Amino acid sequence: MGVGYGLVNQTRREFVMYRHLGASKAAEIAGNPGAAAVTAWYMLQCRGDRIAFVSDTYGEWPFPSGRLEDLEGYEEVTDRIVSELIAAGILRDDGIAWADPEEPKTIYIRALTNIWMGGDDA
């Protein structure tokens, strides 16, 4: 199965989950154009914040204060970041790449295409 990761921003009490982006493992996050764009964009927009990847396996909390259970009160911002990337002309939303036939509204993978070809910095 492998270790999956989420990106946690302790400063803003937010997190990014990759489950609808078709990624969760380190190589998937780096190699999936949508997941990589989400990660880079979020980290650049939140420079100076306490941000770290947290695994879904080891139960570690990488910050000097707080604990893993605090995530229950954090806001998931993945869709907001994807929307920002679409508005910036970096990603295109091509709908749903895959959906579970029994639970298509909750178990699905988005079809995101990286369309950025250079130009002005955002």
Check pLDDT > 90 for residue 29.
yes
Is the confidence at residue 38, as pLDDT, over 70?
yes
Q: What is the largest CA-CA distance in the chain?
A: 43
The pLDDT confidence band at residue 62, using thresholds 50, 70 and 90, is: very high
Banded model confidence at residue 120, pLDDT cuts 50, 70, 90 = low
Q: pLDDT digit string (tens) for 45-56?
A: 999 999 999 999
Question: In this structure, what token pair is assigned to residue 108?
Answer: 């699905």
> pLDDT tens digits, residue range 76-100?
999 999 999 999 999 999 999 999 9
**Dist CA 83 CA 35 (whole Å):** 13
